[in-house]
Amino acid sequence: MGPTGSGKTSLLNVLAGNLTLTSGKITLNGNPFTKLQRRKLAYVLQSDIFLSRLTLRETLYFTAMIRLPDSVSKAAKMARIDEIVDALHLRKCLDTVIGDFMHPGLSGGEKKRANIACELLTDPNIMLIDEPTSGLDSSTAHVLMQELWDFASQYNKIILTTIHQPSSHIFHIFSSLLLLVNGRPAYFGDAHKALQYFGGLGLNFPDHYNPSDIMLELLTTNTEVVNKILEASEKTRNFKVEVENIELVNGKESAINVDVTSKNTNGHATQPSSNGHVISLGYHKTDPTEIALDVSTHEHVSTPYLERPLNRKWAASFWTQFRMLSWRNAKQSKWRIFDECNLIHTLIVASIYCVLYYQIPVSNDTLRDRMGAVYFPLIFWGFAMVIDSVSSFIGEREVVRKERRAGAYRLSAYYTAKMVSELPMMIVVPIVQLSAMYWLAGLGGPIQFAIFIGINLLNCFTTQSIGYIVGACVRTLKYSITTVNTFMVVFLILGGFFNTSFPTWFTWAKYTSFLHYPFAAIMTVLFEDIEPFRCGASQIFKKCQNETELITGSDVLHSVGIDLPVYCCIGTMVALIILLRILGYYAIKYR
């Protein structure tokens, strides 16, 4: 406990391994606290980070399937979910979506309990909970803390929680208290003895007040009082270290750590049961910069199948991770992909396109119109796909980061599942819109139609891959959208439609635009075998020396700078997609 900025969350982040120690070290039962051991430690963050369009039942189901071993049957996992749901009184909201600021869902208290429930599913030995009562009213906060105390007592769990200013009811639930100020310990010991300790320092405070209010007032009102408290704490800690050194010299072994034990609701400490845990969070005997986290286990009653060997990195296999991540991502993404606003937007654009380009004849006068009919879908779906992939990835980033820190799944499983699960849904709307646009514009026959759809989909996959990379490398939505818009506009200019006459020294630039390859491929398919037409009054083509000169499809392609065969364009696009997808994985991994 402590005032804002005292270092409460930082301490939990250090214990959980989310922050790197700059000095000192952490031990578990006298041994270094390793990354694999931290996987049996649950960390509930202050913010409730979930995928908003999943229900609570689906969220718990995914967590159980992905974080419990494959050796556990599905029925046993569902029974575990029911057990946790009943313990935290979440039964009535199981089929309610999590929700966010745009879509209403669970209440604040229900989200807190849902957050805790997800961590309890793995049967952790120790739970770190950051500010579980923040944003809750006093009644809801007390109910939540009482539920945590009941759960810890029933299942012999150790809970270390940070809290800012608890009510007196909540304060008397605590067994031990570490009081922080300015990143330094002001008191560490039994919670119900804290006021007695400060009274022994000559500090006066009124009776019959909330103990937490009194202590926080002592630590925030007067710098002289704060310094006095910190000096007393330092002397006490140094004295204990000196005593330990003397005992070590004399060949004696004794612990200076303060036990965090169970306590009843009257505020009196109780001894742990013979099958429970005792945890000690204190200072090392000879090194006061070392935090010693000691857990003594005495035949802990636990469900055997929930135990995961510490030398096993992942609870579930790659296939299980891939399958469950695909299932969850499909449920979350369908709301984004088939959003009614996006569908209406696509319908309006397609309608205007079909009106403008309806059954364009093949002639010299309509040549640029037909080129525009080819180029526009590439631009439309290029922007749509890249912005969608950026926004979706940024929306999932915190969830993935939280789950990855808990060792839930491989990054490769997440990335592969995201690509595969979204693929069927992502191509439905483009195929429907492009089909209507192609036939109403009269661009060609059935064979050309299949190639037209395929090349446009390759263009969608290319821009989606770019969105993954930008979403991984650029942390904020504002700068991500700006970045992809800049890329798209530059590639748009270099694509070969708006400018067909590049400066001699700059002719290579069109090959750097990913839009040039689908445009060149579709143009070649649609224009290479067209019926020759007369020049008429046009001066576009160099061959047009007189009005009767015939213009072939090759002349049309050459006039707009298309000089690559179809197979070369398609091969380049496929290679580009593979390369960008690989780069996207490493961008996510290292960024």
Contact at 8 Å (CB) between 99 and 49? no
Structural domain contains residue 305? no
Buried b (16+ CB within 10 A) or exposed e, 71-106: ebeeeebeebbeebbebbebeebbebbbbeeeeebb
482 plus 543 within the same structural domain: yes
Longest dimension (CA), the chain: 114
Domain count, the chain: 3
60 plus 72 within the same structural domain: yes
35 plus 163 within the same structural domain: yes
Per residue of the chain (591 residues), what is the pLDDT tens digit? Answer: 888 888 888 888 888 888 887 877 788 777 887 777 777 788 888 787 888 889 999 999 999 999 888 888 899 999 989 988 888 888 899 999 998 878 888 888 888 888 888 888 888 878 888 888 877 778 888 888 888 888 788 777 788 888 888 888 888 888 888 988 888 888 888 888 888 888 888 877 777 788 888 888 888 877 888 888 888 888 777 766 555 556 555 554 433 333 333 333 333 333 333 333 334 454 444 444 455 555 444 334 444 445 545 456 788 889 999 999 999 999 998 888 888 899 999 999 999 999 999 988 877 777 788 888 999 999 999 999 999 989 888 878 888 888 888 888 999 999 999 999 988 888 999 999 999 999 999 888 899 999 999 999 999 999 999 998 998 888 788 888 899 889 889 988 888 777 767 777 777 888 888 898 999 999 888 887 777 666 655 555 555 656 566 667 677 777 777 888 899 999 999 999 999 999 999 998 887
120 plus 130 within the same structural domain: no
463 plus 475 within the same structural domain: yes
User: What are the beta bridge partners of residue 26?
Assistant: 291
179 plus 143 within the same structural domain: yes
SS3 content of the chain, % helix, strand, coil (to 5): 55, 10, 35
Task: Report the distance separating Cα 154 and Cα 346, nearest Å.
Answer: 55
Model confidence, pTM: 0.78
Structural domain contains residue 303? no
Structural domain contains residue 363? yes
Structural domain contains residue 308? no
Structural domain contains residue 77? yes
Domain that holds residue 403: 318-590
483 plus 403 within the same structural domain: yes
Structural domain contains residue 327? yes
- Point out the domain boundary residue: 124, 144, 161: 124
Give one DSSP letter per residue of 66-103, joined into a string: HHS-TTS-HHHHHHHHHHHHHHTT-GGGTTSB---SSS
Task: Report the distance separating Cα 515 and Cα 63, nearest Å.
Answer: 41
Residue 354 CA to its chain's centroid (Å) = 40
147 plus 118 within the same structural domain: no
The token pair at 129 is 């909970």
Contact at 8 Å (CB) between 459 and 382? yes
73 plus 34 within the same structural domain: no
The 8 Å CB, 24+ separation contacts for 336-345 are 336/388, 336/392, 337/388, 337/422, 337/425, 337/426, 337/429, 338/425, 338/429, 342/429, 343/429
Task: Report the distance separating Cα 312 and Cα 317, nearest Å.
Answer: 11
The token pair at 326 is 């695909």
281 plus 414 within the same structural domain: no
Closest to 328 measured CA to CA, from 118, 38, 24: 118
Structural domain contains residue 312? no
Task: Report the distance separating Cα 516 and Cα 571, nearest Å.
Answer: 13
Structural domain contains residue 307? no
56 plus 70 within the same structural domain: yes
Residue 467: helix, strand or coil by DSSP? Answer: helix
3 plus 53 within the same structural domain: no
Q: 409 phi and psi, to 5 degrees? A: -160, 165
- Point out the domain boundary residue: 82, 109, 124: 124
Residue in the structure block whose two tokens are 């009941």 = 150
- Point out the domain boundary residue: 255, 270, 298: 298
Could you tell me the CATH number of the domain that includes residue 267?
3.40.50.300
